[in-house]
């Protein structure tokens, strides 16, 4: 039997699924980014509920905060698979205009999750939907209300009000209408449409192999919204209150579990480095984790612009990397349209030729920015389309 640590590192994607991923603009609800609603291991960790307690400053006063998550009496708390499904459900909700009741096809959900259509995986999907429909959360001074712009004294809610799944195998040939649907709960839906959501790159998020890497990505990505390159947080606070790890006496255990997730996020170009330092602030003890984020596209553009190669070159090849970096900041709203266009691209070799034509120095920068050739060309494709649209408007 695998250990809990080994299970955390097991890939959740089907190894046999070689379908090409497309870039996906996902969403994430902010309260569920701050505190966990799912376990980090599909085998469980011995907890029937997730219970967190801490103190926080609210309007100059110290208040007691709690976050309690209870799961299905028989099936337990949501698993890492359920967490990924939740992100896909938000993706579907956004794509159809943020309704409270969202139609879906199980085959489409399976495709987005990157798993094959087998009976075992269909059963896993049904179980995940059951757990998500059963989970309840009770939050005291820890649920941010976008309407009042403050933390509710008490908020008890569920994620879903219901799920209906129908067999798609017996449907009328040629019918494309979804037969299944899920309904967000009134309380949680109010947070979604109230704007308490943030953008998440699902292309990266759902390709991560480790559940802890995904949980860490969701949390840290929220912390770099202000453009700062570094973020510091107490190691114990991070692991227990935000990542949902089982409390442990020794902080070295947290470091050991975080190391594979850190390595994966660095390899994917999300993090630049991670350091552990002794706490120096008054009233703090233990270790502080210092994260340095990899340069965003707009920061990369400035770096390229400051170098001689970008300022002037006798080469006939355009500085495509600079163009791509700038384009990444102005095209997110067109991403869904671009995804569909690329699915029907008849001449992918033409875009590959663009990459092959890059100078060696530019290729090295692309690698440093964490871009694979297909990711770079995706951004460049968007840039060209935006230029065309602007030219037509002018």
CA 242 – CA 215 distance, rounded (Å): 9
Query: Do the Cβ atoms of 206 and 87 come closer than 8 Å?
Result: yes
Q: Does domain 213-294 have CATH number 3.40.50.11540?
A: no
Kindly give the interhelix angle for 297-305 and 320-327, rounded to the nearest 10 degrees.
150
pLDDT greater than 60 at residue 374: no
Domain limits, the chain: 4-14+21-207, 213-294, 298-393
CA 21 – CA 259 distance, rounded (Å): 27
With cut-offs at 50, 70 and 90, classify the pLDDT of residue 77. very high
CA 84 – CA 210 distance, rounded (Å): 11
Q: For 100, what's the count of Cα atoms within 13 Å in the CB-facing half-sphere?
A: 13
**Which is it for strands 150-152 and 143-145: parallel, antiparallel or unpaired?**
antiparallel
Q: What are phi and psi of 366, to 5 degrees?
A: -60, -40
* Other residues' Cβ atoms within 10 Å of the Cβ of residue 9: 17
**In the beta sheet, which residues pair with residue 64?**
55
**In the beta sheet, which residues pair with residue 152?**
143
> 0.85 cut: is pTM over it?
no
pLDDT greater than 90 at residue 339: no
Range in 45-49, 90-94, 143-147 the model is least confident about: 45-49
Query: Do the Cβ atoms of 211 and 7 come closer than 8 Å?
Result: no
pLDDT, tens digit (0-9, with 9 covering 90-100), for 226-272: 678 899 999 999 999 999 999 998 999 999 999 999 999 999 889 99
Q: Which residue from 29, 27, 47, 25 is spatially nearest to 38, judged by alpha carbons?
A: 47
pLDDT, tens digit (0-9, with 9 covering 90-100), for 24-68: 778 999 999 999 999 999 887 777 899 999 999 888 899 999 999
DSSP string across 306-351: TSHHHH--S-SS--HHHHHHHHTTT-GGGHHHHHHHHHT-S-HHHH
Task: Please report the pLDDT score of residue 214 as a whole number.
Answer: 97
CA 85 – CA 101 distance, rounded (Å): 16
> Measuring CA to CA, how many Å separate 206 from each of 24, 38, 43, 84, 285?
10, 16, 20, 7, 35
* Other residues' Cβ atoms within 10 Å of the Cβ of residue 282: 5
Share of the chain above pLDDT 70, in %: 64
Task: Please report the pLDDT score of residue 329 as a whole number.
Answer: 37
Query: Please, what sign has the CA dihedral across residues 112, 113, 118, 123?
Result: negative
Q: Which residue from 135, 194, 124 is spatially nearest to 165, judged by alpha carbons?
A: 124
> Strand 101-104's sheet: what is its strand order?
101-104, 180-184, 160-164
Token digits for 88?
């896909």
What's the mean pLDDT when you consider all of the chain? 77
pLDDT greater than 70 at residue 17: no
Task: Please report the pLDDT score of residue 302 as a whole number.
Answer: 39
pLDDT, tens digit (0-9, with 9 covering 90-100), for 183-216: 999 999 999 999 899 989 898 999 999 999 999 9
Name every residue whose Cβ is closer than 8 Å to that of residue 57 and which is 6 or more positions away in sequence. 63
CA 96 – CA 148 distance, rounded (Å): 27
Query: Do the Cβ atoms of 141 and 151 come closer than 8 Å?
Result: yes
pLDDT greater than 60 at residue 173: no
């Amino acid at each position: 039997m695998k250990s809990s640590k080994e299970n955390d590192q097991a890939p959740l994607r089907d190894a046999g699924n070689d379908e090409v991923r497309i870039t996906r603009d996902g969403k994430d609800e902010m309260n569920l980014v701050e505190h966990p609603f799912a376990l980090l291991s599909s085998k469980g960790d011995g907890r029937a509920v997730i219970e967190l307690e801490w103190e926080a400053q609210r309007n100059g006063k110290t208040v007691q905060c709690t976050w309690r998550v209870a799961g299905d009496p028989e099936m337990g708390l949501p698993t890492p698979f359920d967490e990924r499904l939740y992100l896909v459900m938000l993706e579907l909700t956004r794509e159809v205009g943020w309704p409270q009741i969202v139609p879906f096809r199980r085959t489409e959900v399976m495709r987005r999750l990157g798993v094959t259509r087998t009976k075992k995986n269909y059963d896993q999907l049904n179980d995940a939907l059951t757990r998500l429909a059963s989970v309840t959360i009770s939050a005291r001074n820890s649920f941010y209300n976008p309407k009042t712009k403050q933390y509710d004294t008490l908020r008890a809610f569920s994620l879903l009000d219901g799920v209906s799944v129908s067999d798609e195998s017996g449907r009328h040939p040629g019918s494309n209408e979804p037969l299944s649907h899920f309904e967000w709960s009134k309380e949680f839906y109010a947070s979604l449409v109230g704007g308490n959501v943030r953008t998440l790159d699902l292309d990266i998020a759902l390709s991560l192999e480790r559940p802890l890497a995904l949980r860490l990505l969701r949390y840290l990505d929220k912390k770099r919204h202000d453009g700062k390159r570094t973020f510091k947080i107490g190691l114990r606070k991070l692991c227990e209150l935000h990542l949902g790890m089982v409390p442990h006496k020794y902080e070295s255990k947290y470091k050991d579990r975080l190391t594979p997730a850190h390595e994966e996020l660095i390899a994917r170009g999300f993090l630049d480095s991670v350091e552990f330092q002794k706490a120096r602030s008054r009233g703090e003890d233990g270790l502080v984790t210092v994260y340095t984020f990899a340069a965003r596209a707009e920061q990369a553009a400035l770096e390229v612009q400051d170098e001689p190669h970008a300022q002037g070159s006798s080469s006939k090849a355009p500085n495509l990397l600079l163009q791509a970096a700038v384009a990444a900041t102005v095209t997110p709203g067109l991403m869904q349209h671009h995804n569909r266009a690329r699915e029907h691209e008849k001449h992918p070799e033409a875009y590959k030729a663009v990459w092959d034509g890059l100078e060696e120095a530019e290729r090295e920068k692309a690698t440093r920015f964490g871009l694979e050739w297909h990711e770079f060309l995706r951004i460049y494709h968007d840039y060209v389309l935006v230029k065309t649209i602007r030219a037509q408007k002018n």
